[in-house]
Amino acid sequence: MQYFNVMDYEAPAQARMNAAHWDYYAGGSGDEITLHANRAIFDHIRLRPRMLVDVTTCDTSTSVLGSPVSMPILVAPTAQHGFAHPEGECETARGVGQAGTLLTASSVSSRRLEDVAAAASGPLWFQLYVFDDNTITVDVVQRAEQAGYKAIVLTVDVPRFGNRERDLRNAFHLPVSANFDVPDVTKLKPSLTWRDLAWLKSLTSLPILVKGVLTGEDTILALEHGADGIVVSNHGGRQLDGAITSLEALPEVVEASSGRCEVYFDGGIRRGTDVIKALALGAHAVLVGRPVLWGLAVNGQEGVRHVLELLRNELELAMALCGAPTLKQITPTLIRR
Ligand SMILES: Cc1cc2nc3c(=O)[nH]c(=O)nc-3n(C[C@H](O)[C@H](O)[C@H](O)COP(=O)(O)O)c2cc1C
Ligand SMILES: CCCCC(=O)C(=O)O
């Protein structure tokens, strides 16, 4: 089997995995309208390439909140990598490091955050879920800081767990996380509000990104409450079905942020041309979720590395064909109005 693009990893990954675990990875909420729309929206955005620009070398390297990375393509937090590989997130971290980019480790993990850090060679961010018991949050944030994670990514789009009907049909329940002792990880703190962001900031000196913002209004609130970055995301279509796609939300978030913080993007990135479209609309970098899990399931760290390399190579080619050999040259003028 040869893998010419990241989609080539999808069916082989499914073939290797337990069916209920696969459905958990693949699925969205409700009718999966937002899940599918996240992909479909990219087909409606067309590029305006420029010609006769010297594209002998196209440079994809950048930095994210100060950490250098080989490309503006990072790994989104996804739960329970143990479903895809016996080494779980440690294996993922090795592959991500080989690709020279950054892994966001999920709170809900098969491996402890310290073990993931020990396996990593590149920068890490820690994704935070907040439970009712504040001592869990205090503990895990301090551990992440001590283990060398470079930022906390607070996920704000799960006041309650989404309606994942595939999981209901499979009678699937998420196992406990290796990171903390919470019997049911889907019981998050529903009373969490913007005010808690200030409390969170008091716990750590790390920058805090807010993940799951889809409006300009919430962008302004996030910045007012001290967020150091925003991740535009609808959680891969797994929370509010019918929510706006991340790509549709991106321009208003970028506008509301008015250059005050880095704006990141996730949802439906499968091609280098998807990456260039998100960057042209103002994302500083994108995060990729499911494709990394496919690479992990098929071929462990090598699969993770290859999925990321495929995306990097496609982005590099797209930059050349758009006449934008540096990331700085990827601007809104690349998109048809
Ligand atoms: C299996 C799976 C588990 C996820 N777990 C988390 C998580 O623990 N924390 C979080 O903030 N987002 C989680 N997400 C959402 C991703 O971070 C990301 O927003 C989404 O997957 C991006 O879309 P993509 O899969 O189309 O690239 C998860 C997504 C998937 C598919
Ligand atoms: C409490 C949520 C756990 C993982 C997650 O974010 C997801 O399945 O989308």
In this prediction, residues 298-315 reach a mean pLDDT of 98
166, 211, 295, 302 alpha-carbon torsion, rounded to 10°: -150
pLDDT at 256 over 80: yes
pLDDT at 62 over 90: yes
Confidence band, pLDDT 50/70/90 cuts, at residue 336:
confident
Q: Ligand 1 test: best mutation among 7, 14, 41, 78, most atoms within 8 Å of CB?
A: 78
pLDDT at 1 over 90: no
Ligand 1 pocket check for 108: Cβ under 6 Å: yes
Q: What's the confidence (pLDDT) of residue 337? A: 65
ipTM (interface predicted TM): 0.99
Assess whether 284 carries a catalytic annotation. Answer: no
Burial of 321: CB neighbours in 10 Å, binned 0-12, 13-18, 19+: middle
244's tokens: 């706006």
In this prediction, residues 287-300 reach a mean pLDDT of 99
Give the C-alpha separation, 86 to 110, whole Å.
Answer: 9
Q: What is the DSSP letter of 8?
A: G
pLDDT digits (tens, 9 = 90+) for 157-182: 999 999 999 999 999 999 999 999 99
Length in residues, the chain: 337
In this prediction, residues 215-241 reach a mean pLDDT of 98
Ligand 2 pocket check for 186: Cβ under 6 Å: yes
Q: What is the DSSP letter of 66?
A: T
Report the chain's mean pLDDT, rounded to a whole number.
98
Name the packing angle between helices 246-257 and 272-280 (round to 10°). 30
| Protein residue whose Cα sits closest to atom 20 of ligand 1 | 236
pLDDT digits (tens, 9 = 90+) for 6-28: 999 999 999 999 999 999 999 99
Q: What's the confidence (pLDDT) of residue 330? A: 98
CB 9, CB 307: distance < 8 Å: yes
Q: What's the confidence (pLDDT) of residue 139? A: 98
Ligand 2 pocket check for 209: Cβ under 6 Å: no
Per annotation, catalytic residue among 85, 235, 284, 306: 235
pLDDT at 222 over 80: yes
> What residue has token string 């396996």?
119
**Alpha helices in the chain, H assignment, sequence order:** 10-16, 19-26, 33-43, 88-98, 113-119, 134-146, 165-169, 195-203, 216-224, 246-257, 272-280, 290-322
Ligand 1 pocket check for 236: Cβ under 6 Å: yes
Q: Which residue has the higher pLDDT, 337 or 233?
A: 233
Q: Please report, in angstroms and rounded to a whole number, the separation of the first and last CA atoms in the chain.
A: 40
Q: What's the confidence (pLDDT) of residue 189? A: 96
Ligand 1 pocket check for 106: Cβ under 6 Å: yes
Give the C-alpha separation, 323 to 50, whole Å.
Answer: 5
Q: Hey, CA dihedral for 242, 245, 246, 249, is it positive or negative? A: negative
Contacts of 54 (CB under 8 A, 6+ apart): 325
Give the chain's radius of gyration (CA, Å): 19
CB 246, CB 265: distance < 8 Å: yes
> What residue has token string 């260039």?
276
- Provide the greatest CA pair distance for the chain: 59
CATH placement of domain 6-43+70-174+207-316: 3.20.20.70
On whether the pTM is more than 0.95, the answer is yes
In this prediction, residues 178-197 reach a mean pLDDT of 96
Q: What's the confidence (pLDDT) of residue 206? A: 98
Give the C-alpha separation, 278 to 174, whole Å.
Answer: 31
pLDDT at 61 over 80: yes
41's tokens: 């929206």
Q: Hey, CA dihedral for 8, 12, 17, 20, is it positive or negative? A: positive
Give me ligand 1 centre to Cα 249, in Å: 17
User: Is 21 strand, coil or helix?
Assistant: helix
Give the C-alpha separation, 296 to 119, whole Å.
Answer: 15
pLDDT digits (tens, 9 = 90+) for 99-130: 999 999 999 999 999 999 999 999 999 999 99
